[in-house]
A = this chain, B = another copy of it.
């Protein structure tokens, strides 16, 4: 059992039409709002207009559209410049994890006079200040609405890097499960795989167990498995969408870390895939995770015990190989995600070259240490 500090200042609104509280909640923070969003879906669904309508009496609204999945530093620079030019008081993210992550970097970038990439690469400057950030969540996946971290990609350096700081915790996040009804099948499935992976990365740790947190993580993993299946059958099932949405926030908000070292295994590997191929993050994780499990059990039989516990708690099987098989069935059959890189449309991958890039600053010291050779082996199994 490790020492830790748990502190989430974000006010979480959950439920039908909670957006009605948005304007009131933001009022104390200023009057000039930059709404940040991604592609056309928030326009198409009418959500953007609804939000603008909620804000029209008390705010002057600016827009930054076109945040890409795996958001790029170019968008961050554009957003930070806009904030400075227009004296923006508040950043309002409307979207999924990419939009929220981008909004965090924009909110921080607006308060400094250096290039916002310097938060991520190079000097890795600390985030000491940010514009107040609010979020309206449209997808159950990254949990960014309840964390102070953000992952940003840089095409020039081919890097995808994470960075956090207390000032970019959202002041309030608005979670209306109805807003996720229209998320397409593939994105819903990839989101579920992402949530599950966040919990698994915390659950499989080498340092110490924490009974209560392990049981709570099992609770959330069961929630994802049970409710993702329902949602794919019934996209407008409010309860199931709501369960996935709340699970996404809790999967990664720091509670489950419980002070353990939290060096993740599959995420660093996947970040290389999405940096190179602009792959959907959750899909990449779904392809990698079962291979990583097999690698662990083969390399260190001591890991089998924890994989058995995972299988028993989440899938009701007490055999470690059946646990992997059950996870594969969930990811590739129930969720219908591609099971190989080739099926995901990515061919001619160079596993060794990717592994070299992933391990360029040393091995991944996660559940098992993964050096270049190990990462190559895992990636080769993904082809």
Contact = CB atoms under 8 A, between A and B. Distances in A.
A243 B210 contact: yes
Contacts of A3: 14-16, 18
Contact of A243 (B5, B211, B238): B211
Contact of A242 (B1, B7, B12, B226): B1
Interface stretch (A55-63, A104-112, A213-221, A319-327): A213-221
Contact of A211 (B6, B13, B227): B227
Given A211-B223, A211-B226, A6 B1 contact: no
A243 B212 contact: yes
A3 B17 CA distance: 9
A165 interface: no
Q: How large is the interface on A (under 10, 10 to 19, 20 to 34, 35 or more residues)?
A: 35 or more
A296 interface: no
Contacts of A13: 5
Contacts of A4: 14-15
A13 B4 CA distance: 6
Nearest to A177: B1
A12 B1 contact: no
A13 B220 CA distance: 24
Contacts of A216: 216, 219-220
A129 interface: no
Contacts of A177: 1
A24 interface: no
A59 B15 CA distance: 44
A153 B239 CA distance: 40
Shortest beta-carbon contacts, A-B, top 8: A3-B15, A215-B219, A212-B223, A7-B11, A6-B12, A216-B219, A219-B219, A1-B242
12 contacts: A1-B239, A2-B15, A5-B13, A9-B9, A210-B239, A210-B242, A211-B223, A211-B243, A212-B246, A212-B247, A212-B250, A219-B219
